A = this chain, B = another copy of it.
Amino acid sequence: MPTIKDVAEKAGVTVTTVSRVLNNRGYISEATRKKVYRVMKELDYQPNELARSLFRGKSNLIGLIIPTVSHPFFGELSAYIEEDAHSEGYKILLCNSQLEREKEIEYIEMLKRHQVDGIIMASHTIDVDEYSKVNLPIVTFDRRIKEKIPYVSSNNYQGGKLATNLLIDKGCKQIAHICGNLSLDLLANKRSEAFVATAQERGIKFHTVQTDINVFETKQYERLILDLFSEHPNLDGIFASSDLIAASAIKICYQLKKAIPDEVRIVGYDDISIASLVTPQITTIRQPIEMMSKLAMEILIKQMNKEKVTVENILPVTLQERETT
């Protein structure tokens, strides 16, 4: 790869001059500017961003830590984030934590070593005080950290309420909520709170089941749902805390020959693309993933520019009624 030095020599000027035309800084005669440009083209010169970053103390890199990009929700989130980052001149360093504490910590250290300008955290197994050590612009998805770390979320309580009310309004008499592990301190847990509160308030029989470990294992959820139906054969409403879990519920109902929505009604969460692609199309609570991504990036960039940011950023959710209710 040619360096600025190669360009300078071939153009018969010094590296300073080349640097000047590269960055449009100071005065340069049109003649030399043209010549330098020509040589850059000839050599297919690309400035070394490593060197630039080192000098500037800014890498234009952003670390993105998620459980796994193979989960459609995080896949969609990552796509939006990368798009926003790109249009702001930032690049994304992808980190899949698999929801493992060790990996999250390891990734954070790696990102710091690579001098990222900021971190977007959407995986939360580490303790709150680990965050204070980060000491870097950071924004969180769906987790409120004690300190003053800004977070983006959608209105989980509202989502849980919408879903639960819909099930009851549609005539369900015994409903269940299926979710991931509630011991992770996530704002998503408010969906469960809302479920319980709403069911109690309206006097409907309800159950809550959760996974014992932090995984996105389909099999795990299928077993859970199967057990749920064998314990409660009269169950006629399910609020799943993700569309993928809802899909598992549909699958089990199909196995059990329970008609949807006549015998069992199901509400999912997220509204990832496949929610409206599968058959039957899933009624779900839509998180505004695109807006959430954009907001997260905005907040991160503001921090990098030492601007003030609001800590709490909660976006509205909307009910998408489709075929499972």
Chain A residues close to B by CB (< 8 Å): 1, 44, 46-51, 53-54, 59, 64, 68-72, 74-76, 78-80, 82-83, 86, 91-96, 109-110, 112-115, 133, 218, 244, 247-248, 250-251, 254, 273-274, 276-281
**Residue of B with least CB distance to A109:** B46
Residues of B within 8 A of A277 (CB): 218, 244, 247-248, 251
Complex contact B96–A93 (CB within 8 A) = no
11 chain-A/chain-B pairs, Cβ below 8 angstroms: A1-B112, A50-B50, A50-B53, A50-B54, A50-B114, A70-B72, A70-B78, A72-B75, A75-B75, A91-B94, A218-B277
A96 lies within 8 A of B79 (CB):
yes
Q: Which of B79, B95, B251 contacts A281 (CB 8 A)?
A: B251
How far apart are A314's CB and chain B's nearest CB, in angstroms? Answer: 23
A72 touches B69 (CB 8 A): no
Contact in complex: A274, B251 (CB < 8 Å):
no
Are B96 and A94 in touch, CB under 8 angstroms? Answer: no
Tell which of B48, B78, B79, B280 touches A54, judged by Cβ atoms closer than 8 Å.
Answer: B48
Q: In the assembled complex, which residues on chain B have CB atoms less than 8 Å from the CB atom of A49?
A: 113-115
Chain B residues within an 8 Å CB radius of A83 = 96
Contact B59 A70 (CB under 8 A): no
CB distance from A15 to the nearest CB of B (A): 16
A114 to B51, CA, bound (A): 9
What's the nearest-Cβ distance from chain B to residue A189, in Å? 24
- Knowing A82-B69, A82-B94, A92-B94, say if A50 contacts B59 (CB, 8 Å): yes
Known contacts A247-B278, A274-B247, A279-B251, A115 near B48 by CB under 8 Å = yes
Chain B residues with CB under 8 A of A114: 49-50, 91
**Chain B residues with Cβ under 8 A from A86's Cβ?**
96
From residue A241, how far is it (CB to closest CB) to chain B in Å?
A: 16
Cβ of A12 to closest chain B Cβ, rounded Å? 25
Contact B93 A92 (CB under 8 A): yes
